[in-house]
Each structure stands twice: as C-alpha cells, then as structure tokens.
Structure 1
C-alpha cells in the first residue's frame, strides 16, 4: 500500500461499522476492507459520542495489521470527536480510548 489510508466510520442505535480505503489517482475509492458488528446491550447505553468513538476504536483494531506505521485519515459524521484531544472533562471510557488512539498515526 503506497497511498494514505482513509477510514470512514459510523454508528447507529444497533450497530457500528466502517470501511478502510485508499483514493486512486482518478479520485475513486479503492476499498480494502469493511468492518461491522452489532452493539452489545451495555454499549447501547453509551452516549452518542462514546458510540461514535467506539466505532473508530473497533475499526482501527480490526485493520491494525494493515495500517500500523502508516498515516490514516479518520472520517466521522460526529463533529465532537475532532475535539477529544483538547477536551478537559472526559469520561474514563473516552480517556482510555484517546490513549488507545495514540498508537496510530491519524487525523480525525
């Protein structure tokens, strides 16, 4: 893989998912893999921000063997996630996930 990776993630009230791809010279997306799973009962109680962050963490863990050592652009439709690194009042869960994100060379 010679081009930067992009990971697009999303969540719903029942599931999380995403797909990893690279952009080709002609602007088309070259899909590498698709990831999805249903939310566990306790995860359905998470806030929207926590569910969206869970989607990112889960997808990154599934494609870790592909992207580790490379830059990955993470795309989400939840604007609040772009401010996670600068927010001072975070839940312990979000704090753990932010620490897990530090393993990856990424831009949200």
Structure 2
C-alpha cells in the first residue's frame, strides 16, 4: 500500500534562490540514492513562499527503512541541515502522512 509524506514549509524570502537550488539538490539526491520518489510542489495560489515536498513510499516499513538510511547518511544530513537551518522560516514545517485508498480492496 503506497504511503505519501506531504511536507509544507515557508521559504525565507531573502534566501529564495539558494533555497530552491538546495531543494532541487535534495530532491535529486533522494531520488537517485533511495528507494522512493520525491516531488517539489510550488504554489499556484495561496502564500507565495509556501512550498511542499511530496514523497511516495511503497509502504510504512519501506518509509521507515529509507528514513533510517537517509539519517545515517552524512551527505544527506548536510543537504537537509543547510536547508532547514538557513532557508526555511522557523516553525513553518508541517508533515502529514497519507496512504492510498486505491490499493485497498473492498470486501
């Protein structure tokens, strides 16, 4: 059953260009190094500097395994550390986890 992790955050206006570059590097690194897919979502309406990451995993166990691998990886920790500390507004991160109902069989 697919699991989706939806993380929204506000990018600091004075760090916008650097934040987008960092965000794209995080996306590329995760898509190439780990067994999940990451998409960057940009706003069409609403708050202009509120962006999101949408990550798809094959299940909860896979999410936990991939997260463990990421947080044991010094290169990933450097990328994500710079992003969180320098490019997003403090306290703006919100994470939600969803599962796909499309894969649940009706009895």
In our comparison, the structure showing a higher alpha carbon Rg is 2
More helix as a share of residues: 2
More strand as a share of residues: 1
If asked which structure has higher relative contact order (CA below 8 Å, sep 6+), I would say 2
TM-score by length of 2: 0.32
TM-score by length of 1: 0.32
